[in-house]
Amino acid sequence: MKTVIISNRLPVKIIEDNNEYTFIPSEGGLATGLGDVYKNGNSIWIGWPGIEVPEERQQEVIEKLAKLNLYPVFLTQDEINLYYEGFSNEVLWPVFHYLVTYAHYEQSYWDCYKSVNDKFAKAALQVLSETDKIWIQDYQLLLLSGILRKKIPHSTIGFFQHIPFPSYEIFRLIPWRDELLNGMLGADLIGFHTYDDVRHFLSTTTRLLPVNSSANVLSSSDRQVVVEAFPMGIDFDKFSNLTGQDEVQKEIEDFRTGKENMKVILSIDRLDYSKGILERLKAIELLLQIHPEYIGKFELYMIVVPSRDTVPQYRDLREQIDQFVGNLNARYRSVNWIPINYFYRSYPIEVLSALYATADICLVTPMRDGMNLVSKEYVASRNNNDGVLILSEMAGASKELTDALIVNPNNLGDIMEAIVVALKMPLEEQQTRMKAMRDIAEKFNVKHWVNNFILRLNEVKDSQNSLLTK
């Protein structure tokens, strides 16, 4: 019996250079969080390798990935445009992050979303046996549980959504809302990061479909589905140990040289309008206007990892960030100082680790975020218990990391004040807060998350089976 993880993206993606394919780690919380864990158990992972692979090269990719227990689902360029960029990232992503005006309800997106979910089901059925545990990940595959349930009715299916689930008033806007919910209800266990997401899902489902809920169990005429919160963690030890590696120590030293009296503020995100990048920059601008005494006293290191840049809103956002940073730096910089060091690229984990270990303050201010693992990675990298985390109350992580300075990301004054508090925070207070957050991130790490979910999935299935035999 094995665990079959299915997600839109595999934990590695193909990069093509001179007709050569190489595989590098994928970005995003799901891949970084689960990317190592699946290797430890008896698991395989099914998903898209990140680019269109021409038919004549698919066998080569299949063979290379098989060595890593990965099974590719190949998407055509049309499917990438309509299912991934279209329905997933121009309908579900904006609506689930409450940016409803960004949504384009195109029938062609929906049609393709359905057919690609079918394609994933076909791929899964080729490698699945009936006793396997199936663990489907995220919003790109909301229909998959339902499709697989029809094909293999007694299978054990867990579904976990990594992004927020919106309130009923928002979700009901989607033209295909009932089909989406019915698809999700094919699972035995549905997980979200927070209890708020669970609440929204339960109330949405009972208002739109003929199902009843009793506590966190949804019942229809023939099935029961359990809905629970499983806050995702990170590989705490990996991040904590990385800072001691020679390579990382060297990066830290290089980075710190010449900045002895400078406070370093760090932000790391995928390019995304849900991450509050522009708002964060505006808060920095406000700080420079209202507190000129901090000019020359801090530097923001802002890493933006390229993502979905073929989707128009992401392209626009990138231009806006470029412009804002350019203007702000031009206005405030001096010969020896620049307020914002902006990098639009991805970095290896060793560099990120050095940045986490160096930064006096980490600024994580998404407008809405399922969990946000960057906040936990920062905390895990602070082996001396110093440093200050400023964290948006709209991130799932704020429910756990309550010793961060919690801010409303829409309130620029609030963010600015928090930066001032962080810049002045005595070491002792930093250590008390950081220690408490590290304890939580260490205890509720990613292994705990995986074990907890799988354990609960087994329990739910066992109790369903015993009901059936009564």
DSSP 360-379: SEEEE--SSBS--SHHHHHH
State the pairing for strand pair 43-48/20-25: unpaired
Question: Helix, strand, coil % (nearest 5) of the chain?
Answer: 50, 20, 30
Selected from 44, 141, 163, 328, the binder of ligand F6P by CB under 6 A is 163
For residue 201, the tally of other CB atoms under 10 A from its CB is: 24
Of 162, 197, 269, 272, the active-site residue reads: 162
Number of amino acids touching ligand F6P (CB under 6 A): 11
Is-catalytic flag, 162?
yes
Selected from 97, 149, 162, 376, the binder of ligand F6P by CB under 6 A is 162
Long-range interactions of 304-307: CB distance < 8 A, separation 24+: 304/269, 304/270, 304/271, 304/277, 304/342, 304/343, 304/344, 305/27, 305/268, 305/269, 305/270, 305/271, 305/345, 305/346, 306/270, 306/271, 306/344, 306/345, 306/346, 307/27, 307/28, 307/270, 307/271, 307/272
Q: Using CB under 6 A as the criterion, what x/- string covers residues 280-319 for binding ligand F6P?
A: ---------------------------xx-----------
- Which stretches of 349-441 are assigned E, i.e. beta strand? 361-364, 388-392, 405-407
Binding to ligand F6P by residue 234, rule CB under 6 A?
Answer: no
Binding to ligand F6P by residue 97, rule CB under 6 A?
Answer: no
Q: Using CB under 6 A as the criterion, what x/- string covers residues 2-21 for binding ligand F6P?
A: -------x------------
Is-catalytic flag, 97?
no
Q: Output the six-digit token pair for 311.
A: 């989707």
Binding to ligand F6P by residue 200, rule CB under 6 A?
Answer: no
* Closest to ligand F6P by CB, 376 or 433: 376
Q: How far is the CB of 162 from ligand F6P (least distance, A)?
A: 4
* Closest to ligand F6P by CB, 96 or 110: 96
For residues 10 and 19, give the distance between their C-alpha atoms in angstroms, rounded to a whole number. 21
Q: Using CB under 6 A as the criterion, what x/- string covers residues 380-419 for binding ligand F6P?
A: ----------------------------------------
* Closest to ligand F6P by CB, 47 or 339: 47
Positions marked catalytic: 162, 369
Which residues contact ligand F6P (rule: CB under 6 A)? Answer: 9, 27-31, 138, 162-163, 307-308
